[in-house]
Amino acid sequence: MAGEWRTAAIGSGSCKWLYLWTVRALPAMMHWVRTQKPGESGINIITADFVELGDFISTVIKLNYILDEGEADTT
């Protein structure tokens, strides 16, 4: 029983550390995401933990719209 408690405590501590690290790194990551270009010679997939922080989701969706506009221009 004691081993299970320690495992749970370590696991919850790891999640908190990951969350805090993500919050600290978010401004730099969002800057990088905003400078990316979608498509064949650009990025294809962006993944992140805690995507509900900041405007990550809307920024990635905007990249999809840029890709759609580019495809419409070539047809």
Helical residues (DSSP H) of the chain, grouped into ranges: 2-34, 56-73
Which structural domain range is residue 67 located in? Answer: 2-73
pTM: 0.63
- The number of domains in the chain is 1
Q: What is the pLDDT of residue 50?
A: 83
Q: What is the pLDDT of residue 8?
A: 55
Task: pLDDT tens for the chain, 75 residues: list them.
Answer: 555 555 555 556 677 888 888 889 999 999 999 999 888 888 878 888 888 888 989 998 898 888 777 665 655
The rounded distance, in Å, linking the Cα atoms of 43 and 22 is 21
